[in-house]
Structure 1
Amino acid sequence: MGYLLLFGAIAAEVAATTAMKYSDGLTRLWPSLLTALGYVVSFALLARTLKSLSIGTAYAIWSGVGTATIAVLGLMLFGEGLNTTKVAGIVLIVGGVVVLNMGGAH
């Protein structure tokens, strides 16, 4: 159940961050409200996740997967460029999450 809650927390955080981009500096009402709601839901689900998963594992997955997903959405939705440095950064983020999870499995 912990990983399902964590997936929901990641999805809410990604939706909130994406809405923030559309909010035009929090000056547009509906995207701004979606941003606030998304972060509240994300933190609530992350807090529930911490009842069953270790904080290091949960936070590494939440932040790493969220960051990598937002980077990909930046490419797809907002036309952000892709270069070797960005690819390396995403690979390092995902690799770091994997390594932390391997270390926490014992």
Structure 2
Amino acid sequence: MSGWVFMMGAVVCEVAGTLSLRAAVDSRRWYAVVTIGYISAFTLLSLTLAAGMPLGVAYGIWTAAGVALTAIFSRLLFHEPLTRMMIAGIVLIMVGVLLVELGTGPL
């Protein structure tokens, strides 16, 4: 169970770092948040792996959740586009990650 807690923290930190990177375009002060976010995300991802989650599953969940949440929050915070095709791509990524996760269990 702790692996999932670490994973959620890793996703939140990665998304915060990425959104801060976009904010840093306007104000360099955001680079501190970018640095802290990415260091925290990788640290929590390594703790996820140490808790026993397979690398393929962990990385897939981390990246898929990061892509989806970053796209949604960049739409809300920075008024960037989020088209139907982009949403379909996010759904396909999630389906792919689900298939990878299901593939790690017994048949």
Q: Same fold (TM over 0.5)?
A: yes
Partner of residue 95, structure 1: 95
Contact kept, 8 Å, 2:18 with 2:34, in 1: the verdict is yes
Identical positions, percent: 35
What's the CA shift for 1:74?
1.6
Which stretches in structure 2 are left out of the alignment for 5+ residues? none
Partner of residue 34, structure 1: 33
**Is 1:61 aligned with 2:58?**
no
How big is the alpha-carbon RMSD for the aligned residues of Structure 1 and Structure 2? 1.3
Q: CA–CA distance in 1 between the matches of 2:79 and 2:58?
A: 30
Aligned residues: 104
Which stretches in structure 1 are left out of the alignment for 5+ residues? none
Q: CA–CA distance in 2 between the matches of 1:4 and 1:82?
A: 28
Q: CA–CA distance in 2 between the matches of 1:82 and 1:7?
A: 23
**Is 1:45 aligned with 2:44?**
yes
Equivalent position SS for 1:91:
helix
What's the CA shift for 1:34?
0.3
Q: CA–CA distance in 1 between the matches of 2:40 and 2:7?
A: 11
What's the CA shift for 1:81?
2.1
TM-score by length of 2: 0.90
Q: CA–CA distance in 1 between the matches of 2:103 and 2:38?
A: 28
What's the CA shift for 1:84?
2.3
Partner of residue 23, structure 1: 24
Code of the residue aligned with 1:6 in structure 2: it is: M
TM-score by length of 1: 0.91
